[in-house]
Structure 1
Amino acid sequence: MKDLSSTIKSGLKISLIITTIVFVVILFITTDSRTWEALKSINGKYLIYVILLNTLSWILSGIRYSILIRGIEGVNLNLIEALQIHLSYYFASSITPTSAGGEPLEIYLLSKKNIKIGQATALSLFRYVINTLTFAIASPLIIYFYSYLFPQNIVRKLVQYSAILFLLVVGGFLFALFKPRPIIRLVSYILIKLRRIPFLKRIHPFKILRVVNKTVRDFHNTLWFFLKEKKLTILGFFFFNLLSWITYFLIAPVLMSAFNLKVNYLSVVLVQIPIFFMMFYVPSPGGSGAIEILISLGFAPFVPKYILGIFIILWRTLTHYLTLLAGAIVLVYILGVKNW
């Protein structure tokens, strides 16, 4: 728990420092006398709509999670529990580089629901691959058919980079699906070589081999079970995953309406998809810094320059930081105040 607490603190610190610097730079570049007048004229009811849309995206994410978990025989995860895991995952992902902290916490929380480690790992990978696959398919199509939305060449180049990384992940997924034995050998070899680490040093090598063998086989069997027997479960997850993201992407155009701007809802939704696809692979915690810069490029054609800085800060606060706060509260509740 001490390591977890230290990681959380350092991740939050880095994320907040980067975001603060970027916010200050964006405000310095975009703010003038008209900015404060625009801020005073905000229509408050649209801010309520934004918060409601964000909350609805949480609920839809919880539903998709619940559907996926219930695919395992004998496991029943209600919506509240699924929502807790989703928000905790979001929090851990947002404060660690390349979202690397989300999956280990997700697997840990799932294992507390009587799900085997190998099964939890398979479910986490399923969620990641299906979620990212949606963006990987949609992003090139949007850039091709709606190229006028992306006059900046940097977005196209970064999408290509993200697609290459995604193909490597899918390659690893398929390899684990068809060739579990090399995975068992590789993981066992790494863990035995790392026996200098205190908590591994006390474990007998044969026990390491036995645990790795069981975990990888559970992982492999769960992947095949879902692909063969749970096609409707995968389809249900995909559907609610799509609904969750569409709800989330509607937040930006609704917030633009708060500034009394004329908004093309479809264009604003579409421009966000390739940008968020890239966010899966940004090394900074929660994409801090990069997301603000890229989304400001994406929203620039729709928002006047003197509003853009304030708009980005409001949008990021009412989506990312609001969800981050909810995730922190939920994680404290799950782990307990003493452990935290």
Structure 2
Amino acid sequence: MDLKKWRKWLVASILISMGSLTIIFAFSSTKKAIPLILSIPLWFFLIIILVHFLHWLFWAVRIKIMAHALGENISIMWAFRIVMVNLFMASVTPSSIGGEPSRIYLLSQGNLSSGDATALILSERLLDFIFFAVSLPLFILLLGISINLEDIAMELFVAIGLFLLGGSALIYIIYNASKIKSKIKKLEKLLKFFIKGEDRRERLIHKVEKEFDTFVKSVIMIFKRKKVHFIAAMSATAIMWFADFTIPSLILLAMGYPPFWLLSITFQMIILLITIIPISPGGSGLAEFSAYFLYSQKLQPDITGALVILWRVLTFYLNLFGGMICTVHYISKGK
């Protein structure tokens, strides 16, 4: 894993995010925003960081549970390191797409095969798909309100489309595994342009087929045969997301304003969906402006500006720099 090749993405991610926050700050009344931020006690910041740490921790717990369902026992520390490296890679790639390959790579460095590692990570995405597909409509029904989404309607439409497409594609692959596998053989014709030796091509095709079989069996095992593990992993999924989604409400409490928990969690779900759109590294720009638009429906501009700035610092930047430290440590140790 070479950190240098990600340097441009890292710089782009930070610049886009900081530029977005600067614009938001300029639109806010700085007379109130700066005193609001400075008035928050240090111990309240520590509580918010601890809550965000719970998001990291329960993500690691989820990975450990799912690995155990596949018959592999990985330590919580190793799972936590995987999460942190993933957060850095996700923060510097469009749609956070760099997170999945990094988790697969790190899991396959242990006892898991490539097929098992891929199954585990894609099963994580299915758990997230189930969580958001159930939670977001439910929260909107519970609130009994209509949120003004006019200014972000296009972004939300595209995000939901990509979200449904990704989830449906995963489900299709699992239920049509035999059809997918039958087409793997056809890749040999394409490989002729890249790999000259017939024996090498056949070995590669055989390996791909073997790992695909492992992948399908592992996903079925997690979702159908290991029901206790599935329930435990689903519970960890709910805890990790709800922990992170409460942070804006905690920031509002710290500034002395009503937290409106349910509405804020709904806003967070919408923002996360929008950042799926592959426009900027780590969803930078999309997250900031979407958050400002949504929260400004309930808050004054100066309060909204302070909230969005603190929220991004205590989530995105914490992910970015915490993940970078773990990534550098991993590379320096050579493992």
TM-score (normalised: structure 2): 0.90
For residues 76-126 of structure 1, give each alpha carbon's deviation from its aligned partner in whole angstroms, at most 9, with x where no partner exists.
112111111111112111211122211111111011111010111111110
SS in 2 for 1:37: helix
- Letter paired with 1:250: T
SS in 2 for 1:115: coil
Tell me the equivalent position of 1:293. 289
Shift of 1:155: 4.6
- Using the alignment, how far apart are the partners of 2:77 and 2:330 within structure 1? 12
Aligned 8 A contact 2:104 2:114 in 1: yes
Q: Is 2:51 the partner of 1:53?
A: yes
- Using the alignment, how far apart are the partners of 2:164 and 2:234 within structure 1? 19
Task: Describe how 1:85-234 pairs up with structure 2 within 5 A.
Answer: 85-146=82-143, 148=145, 150-155=147-152, 158-187=155-184, 189-190=186-187, 193=190, 204-234=200-230
- Using the alignment, how far apart are the partners of 2:48 and 2:185 within structure 1? 48
Aligned in 2, Cα 1:35/1:221: closer, same or farther, shift over 3 Å? closer
Shift of 1:33: 2.4
Q: 1:39 aligns with which of 24, 37, 40?
A: 37
Percent of aligned pairs sharing the same letter: 25
Aligned in 2, Cα 1:184/1:61: closer, same or farther, shift over 3 Å? same
Segment of structure 1 superposing worse, 329-338 or 142-151: 142-151
Segment of structure 1 superposing worse, 119-128 or 321-330: 321-330
Structure 2 unaligned runs (5+)?
A: none
Structure 1 unaligned runs (5+)?
A: none
Q: Is 2:266 the partner of 1:249?
A: no
Shift of 1:285: 1.3
Aligned 8 A contact 1:97 1:285 in 2: yes
Q: What is the total number of aligned residue pairs between the two structures?
A: 334
Tell me the equivalent position of 2:79. 82
- Using the alignment, how far apart are the partners of 1:312 and 1:34 within structure 2? 14
- Using the alignment, how far apart are the partners of 1:15 and 1:305 within structure 2? 25
Aligned 8 A contact 2:100 2:121 in 1: yes
SS in 1 for 2:145: helix
- Letter paired with 2:82: I
Tell me the equivalent position of 2:18. 20
- Using the alignment, how far apart are the partners of 1:16 and 1:43 within structure 2? 26
SS in 2 for 1:97: coil
Segment of structure 1 superposing worse, 166-175 or 102-111: 166-175
Give me the CA root mean square deviation: 2.4
- Using the alignment, how far apart are the partners of 1:25 and 1:163 within structure 2? 27
Shift of 1:129: 1.3
Q: 1:315 aligns with which of 293, 298, 311?
A: 311
Segment of structure 1 superposing worse, 182-191 or 48-57: 182-191
For residues 205-253 of structure 1, give each alpha carbon's deviation from its aligned partner in whole angstroms, at most 9, with x where no partner exists.
1122111111111111112222332111111101011011111111111
Aligned 8 A contact 2:184 2:209 in 1: no
TM-score (normalised: structure 1): 0.89
Aligned 8 A contact 2:191 2:201 in 1: no
- Letter paired with 1:99: S
- Letter paired with 2:86: Y
- Letter paired with 2:111: N
Aligned 8 A contact 1:98 1:285 in 2: yes
Shift of 1:173: 1.7
- Using the alignment, how far apart are the partners of 1:268 and 1:158 within structure 2? 19
Aligned in 2, Cα 1:51/1:211: closer, same or farther, shift over 3 Å? same
- Using the alignment, how far apart are the partners of 2:211 and 2:88 within structure 1? 26
- Using the alignment, how far apart are the partners of 1:250 and 1:278 within structure 2? 18
Aligned in 2, Cα 1:18/1:191: closer, same or farther, shift over 3 Å? farther
Aligned 8 A contact 1:184 1:212 in 2: no
Aligned in 2, Cα 1:282/1:108: closer, same or farther, shift over 3 Å? same
- Letter paired with 1:89: N
- Using the alignment, how far apart are the partners of 2:186 and 2:9 within structure 1? 30
Aligned 8 A contact 1:272 1:298 in 2: no
